[in-house]
Amino acid sequence: MTALAKPQVAAALEGAHSGIAKHYLETLNLVERLHRQLLDVIKDELDRRDEREINSVQALLLFNVGDQELTAGELRTRGHYLGSNVSYNLKKLVESGYVHHERSEIDRRSVLVRLTRKGEAVRDMLRELFERHLGSLEAVGNVAGHDLETMNVALHRLERFWIDQVRFRL
């Protein structure tokens, strides 16, 4: 949505639902910006560690695989990636040695993926990054545990609302 269109949309929505419209649109904007900012934070860490072989999306995908053995479909569902993004990024991660893949014994159509030692090193790098963040989140970021808890409750409710909008075509 263009910068010009946003005020028009906000004005139209505020007329119908004046109290909540501004906050809802701000939330939509923040969710979008926060995801991009997280990818920038991860890219910065990759650059600091001189890890140039993968991008921030791929590093986050490795983090989300964690210690598990998953199918691409499970990654798509759990990580909320688009199907083509998962396939493309997994292919690149397999080619560069971060992920091992093999056909499922149970369902030969599925491919199971798990991290190689190289992939585990990136996962661990992000774990360390997020642990460092936890050490200064409250003192520097002024974000307390109860703030995160309240925000997570609201975000889960919003997620459920959006899922229902699609599922039930509301």
Phi/psi of residue 99, nearest 5 degrees = -135, 140
What local confidence, expressed as pLDDT, does residue 111 receive?
A: 85
Q: Pick from 90, 95, 98, 92: which is nearest to 116 by CA?
A: 98
Q: Compute mean pLDDT per 10 residues along the chain, 170 residues long, and list them.
A: 58 69 95 96 97 95 93 80 83 96 79 95 98 96 97 96 92
What local confidence, expressed as pLDDT, does residue 134 receive?
A: 96
The number of CA neighbours under 13 Å toward the Cβ of 14 is 10
What local confidence, expressed as pLDDT, does residue 19 receive?
A: 81
What local confidence, expressed as pLDDT, does residue 10 receive?
A: 60
User: For the whole model, what pTM was predicted?
Assistant: 0.84
- Strands across the sheet with 70-71, in order? 70-71, 111-115, 99-103
What local confidence, expressed as pLDDT, does residue 11 receive?
A: 63
What local confidence, expressed as pLDDT, does residue 2 receive?
A: 52
- Find where tokens 């990818």 sit: 39
